Amino acid sequence: MPLIEKGEIVADAYIRVPDEEALPEGAAVLIGIDRFLAEADGLKGRQAPVGVIWPNNRPIAEIEPYLGQLSLIALNFPSFRDGRAYSQARLLRERLGWKGPLRAIGNVLRDQFLLMERSGFDQIDAAKTADAEAFDEATHRYTVFYQPATDQRPSLLRQRLGRTVSGVRS
């Protein structure tokens, strides 16, 4: 599956390693949360980046003590109707201060790219190349937003508050 990062299709630097397989030396790995928690102390000395796949049915606050050990967090969308990962992304960015890469994985659809970007995702594991190629169009379809988000685009309210009646900025 193609990986989209900042609007471009890029090579995935991380290897997904199942729980029962050994971690490759010197390679960036993406592992499940159960394995990460079981091996967290041993992974502290690892010389290569470690990413974690965080399930959407687990409170995101539980990851806070481990943020310094992680180089990537992947949040799962098991179904296109399940939006809990959006909330997890916002909480990671806004409350927990996560500045590293945040990846959307699972049932990721082109119609959701804009909301994913606005929620704080900067990597999207797209289902097919055609979806990845449509990323730019999907994320630039709308230019005015009512809700504030993590992507720093001003909401309509913020835009209006920046103007006076005469049109002069305050």
In a domain, 159, yes or no: no
pLDDT at 107: 87
pLDDT at 13: 94
In a domain, 78, yes or no: yes
In a domain, 147, yes or no: no
In a domain, 161, yes or no: no
Residue ranges of the chain whose pLDDT lies below 50: 164-170
Looking at residue 160, the DSSP 8-state letter turns out to be: H
Note whether 127 and 108 are within 8 A (CB): yes
In a domain, 58, yes or no: yes
Note whether 32 and 44 are within 8 A (CB): no
pLDDT at 113: 78
pLDDT at 168: 46
d(CA 70, CA 92): 13
Note whether 125 and 104 are within 8 A (CB): yes
pTM of the shown model: 0.80
pLDDT at 100: 95
**CATH number of the structural domain spanning residue 76:** 3.20.20.70
Q: Which residue range forms the structural domain that includes residue 27?
A: 3-142
Angle made by CA atoms 31, 77, 83, in degrees to the nearest 5: 135
In a domain, 169, yes or no: no
Half-sphere exposure at residue 52, Cβ-oriented, CA atoms within 13 angstroms: 22
Dihedral over Cα of 69, 65, 19, 92: its sign? negative
In a domain, 40, yes or no: yes
Give the length of the chain.
170
How many domains does the chain fold into? 1
Residue appearing with tokens 């091996």: 39
In a domain, 134, yes or no: yes
